[in-house]
Chain A
Amino acid sequence: QVQLQESGPGLVKPSETLSLTCTVSGASITAYSWTWIRQPPGRGLEWIGYIYYTGTTKYNPFLSSRVTMSLDMSKSQFSLKMSSVTAADTAVYYCARDITGIWGIDFWGQGTLVTVSS
């Protein structure tokens, strides 16, 4: 069974950088697109972007200037960094696997709440 688990600080100060890691088990990270999604309190899900196993990335334009994703195949992990955070970046952050093609997103992590506050 494929499992994903997010980890990282639950509290980040405004203007600092949010850093999260997703650890994948039960599947090889050397395939597919590895995706970050978030849900601000009381709002809908927002797709942040993905990193393909080759290292190619694609970000949502509304966040692309602040987002960087990376892969660590040796640890079966992928990561998200978001710079210059504000309170509007407070959200539950999810990692997920996107098979692309007709299959889409199949497995998700349970999410981690990140609060931006001083």
Chain B
Amino acid sequence: DIQMTQSPSSVSASVGDRVTITCRASQGISNYLAWFQHKPGKAPRSLIYAVSTLQSGVPSKFSGSGSETDFTLTISSLQPEDFATYFCLQYKSYPRTFGQGTKVEI
């Protein structure tokens, strides 16, 4: 299985801050990497697929970059609604595997 190592596990930030989250794959996954936002009791929300393509309706303050094994999600200018858990997903191969998640806290 491809292991996805996500860091940090949590980050404290303030409104207006820029936050960067990383995911590292144990082997190359080309550009089969997605990012999700999850708030308690809600369905996870797809933010980005194919490393850097924003899902419809996702604001441009979210951006993704990377390739093969190292990937980054950046949230520029954090707003109150952005405080949530973020996780990555590799879908290069089965079984699909996920990062452990990053909780973005105030």
Query: Which residues of A line the B interface, CB within 8 A?
Result: 4, 35, 37, 44-47, 49, 58, 60-61, 94, 98, 100, 102-111
Q: How many A-B residue pairs have CB under 8 A?
A: 59
A110 cross-chain contacts in B, Cβ below 8 A: 41-43
Whole-angstrom distance from the CB of B36 to the nearest CB of chain A? 8
Query: Which residues of B line the A interface, CB within 8 A?
Result: 31-32, 34, 36, 41-46, 49-50, 55, 87, 89, 91, 94-101
Query: How far does the alpha carbon of A105 sit from the alpha carbon of B46 in the complex, in Å?
Result: 8
A-B pairs with beta carbons under 8 Å apart, 19 shown: A35-B96, A37-B96, A44-B98, A47-B94, A47-B95, A60-B95, A94-B44, A102-B49, A102-B50, A103-B50, A104-B49, A104-B50, A104-B89, A105-B46, A105-B89, A106-B49, A108-B36, A108-B45, A109-B43
B43 cross-chain contacts in A, Cβ below 8 A: 4, 94, 107-111
Whole-angstrom distance from the CB of A103 to the nearest CB of chain B? 6
B87 cross-chain contacts in A, Cβ below 8 A: 44-45
* Chain B contact surface mostly: loop
Since A104-B89, A105-B89 are in contact, a sample of 7 more A-B pairs with Cβ atoms closer than 8 Å, ordered by chain A residue number, is: A35-B96, A44-B98, A61-B95, A98-B91, A102-B50, A104-B32, A108-B45
